[in-house]
Each structure stands twice: as structure tokens, then as C-alpha cells.
Amino acid sequence: MGMDRARYALRALLAAVALLSVWAYPAVAQTFDALSGKTVRFIIGANAGGTTDRFARIFIDALRPLLPGTTLLAQNVPGGDGQLALVEASAAGRNVVTAVFLQAGPIYDQLRQPTVPSVDIGRFRPIGSLASNQRVVGIRALLGVTTLDELVALDRQLVTLTNSVTASNHMEAILFAAMTGVHLKVVTGVSEDMRDSLMLAGEVDLSVTPYLSLRKMIEAGVGIAILRTGTSGYPPDLAALPTLADVLPADTPPELIEAVDTLNVLGRMLMAVPETDEMVVDALRAAFDEVVASPAVAAAYAAQSFDLSPTPGVEVERRMVALLGNEAVAATFRAYLACGEEEAESGKELDCAAR
């Protein structure tokens, strides 16, 4: 692990220097020449027509006029909460520039493992994040509570549904329970559409979910949001909603709070494969920054009821290095996750902070 930490530390330094350069020289013109005449293959780690796919394709369509001498291709590789897209991207040849759109699922999966996997997402080069995850804690309105304290005071096991034990929504729910003391019964193997239907039917009590998914439940009067899990990228109408950090016990490890916030910020990422030429990475980052600064692009996302809240590639890289390159953060993440899993499986209430 010593070599891994040294590698991440070097990348943290390089990312910090790059970030300072962006702040210090905002007027410096950046060139896309490194992409001229090349083919860029975008692998989308989601099903066609889904939210991640639509986020990606709006971006790709907006990129085309900016790069008239570049061929842009898009391919959907769904499955494994983004893992299969990473594997596909990592196997790409060097004659095509390859980048992958995905959410933070593979980062969650890598954090929960004691060893770095063969496909290390930490080696990929972030180009930018289009939007935060906008994760909120939503509850069934008929529970009759509006705050975390009232939720805990119900003193019963609440039902939540997730895709699978390796899915990011499962780990987020388990971490939420371990950090707050909310007693959860986690049922896995349930699709998002089915989760919405079961909440409408009153059979689901709680969900840790993107605000986009909860919003229709709120509009139907079935669900309410009681917390934001992070601080960045939320719509203005959630500005008064407390964050997870606002309500956690004082003994909650600060590195865990920062990790949860970072995982929310990373959101819908675009990442180039590790072997990508540095000039190509710089050109892709410059193109990303120009696209997301366009009011027309923001309007295109708004037309899909999406909130565009971009994070530059150098900042995404800084956060990923701080998250994946620190074994203490990963160890704390795994400890809380294990405690939350034990509580959910046993039905016993545990004090995860005391372990």
C-alpha cells in the first residue's frame, strides 16, 4: 500500500498545482489542438435513455460544434453500478481517446475493499463532473415526522430498498444508519421504479436517493426530504434543508463526513483512461469547462429537469486523491459500513461510533 499512497500523494500535488494555475491565470486561452483529427470514444456506464445516459448525451451533443475536427462516438455499457464501463474503458486501445461517463458506484466499491482492485478508478483522469449526486434522505410522509430526531424517536426498524449489496444506494443507506442511529431494515434487489411504486403504496419508509428521484414523490404528497447528505450542487429550494453534517453526533469522525460529502460532489463524472496523453487530458478539461459554462447547455439540462452543477476536473481529481489515497479514510468507511451491515442483518441497534 506504500507505493499506492506515494502515487496518490504525487497526484494530489500535481492536481493542486493545476488547480492553482486555473485560478491564477483565468484569461489564458486553452487549445483543443490535441484533439484535432482524433476519435474520442465515450463509454456511458448506464442503460440507454436513463438519467446518466441523457446527462452524457446532452454533453456530447454540445461538444460536437466545439470540436469540428474530432470524431465523437458514444457507447452504452451498463451493469455493475458502473464497473463494467470501467472494465471496458480500461481495455481500450491507444489509437482512440477513451473516456467514461459514470456515477460514484465504483468509488464506493473500491473504498469498501481492503485492497486496490485490478481496475483502479483512482488511476483514471477526471475531466469533470456535470452535477452532484444531490443525495437526500427522503421519508414516507405518513410517518408523521419531519426531522432526524423525530425519525430516531420512532424507535422502530424502518424499511428501505436498494439495488444490491454492492450498489452505491445500498452503501449510502447503511452508512446513514450507522452514522445517525436510525434503525433500518434493508431489502435488496429492488429496482428504482419498483421502489417508487412501493413508496407510493406506503410499504417503504425511507430512501437515500438523488433529489431527482424523490421529487416526484414530494409532488405527489407521498414523500418529504428531511436531510441533504452533502453541501454542493443542490437546487435553491433545498437550501434550508439541514445537511448530514449539521445533525450528526459530535463523535462522528470528520474524515467520514468529508468522504460522504465528496462522494456526493463527484456525482456524474467524465473520466479519461489512465494512459491518456497529458495534452489530451488538458484539452478535454478545457472543452468540458467551456461546454458547461454555456447558458444554452444549462437550458438543455433544465429542459430535462436536470440541474447542471459542474465541478472542474482538477477539483474532482483533488477530491478523489484525498479520498482514495488515504488509508485512514478508507478504514473508517469500512468500519462504519461493517457496523451498519451487522445492525441491518441482526436487527440489533449498535453504537457504531463507539467501535
Give all strands (DSSP E) within the chain, no chain letters: 39-44, 71-76, 97-102, 125-129, 135-140, 158-161, 184-187, 206-210, 223-228, 269-272, 311-312
Contact 132, 207 (CB under 8 A): no
- What counts of helices (H) and strands (E) characterise the chain? 14, 11
Residues of the chain short of pLDDT 70, as ranges, are 1-30
pTM for the predicted model, two decimal places: 0.85
CA dihedral sign of residues 258, 103, 344, 147 = positive
Residue of 45, 220, 223, 51 whose CA lies nearest to 136: 223
- Separation between Cα atoms, residue 139 and residue 103, nearest integer Å: 23
- pLDDT value for 167: 84
DSSP lists the bridge partners of residue 298 as none
Structural domains for the chain: 2-131+267-324 (3.40.190.150), 135-253+332-354 (3.40.190.10)
- pLDDT value for 25: 35
- pLDDT value for 27: 33
- pLDDT value for 11: 53
- pLDDT value for 4: 55
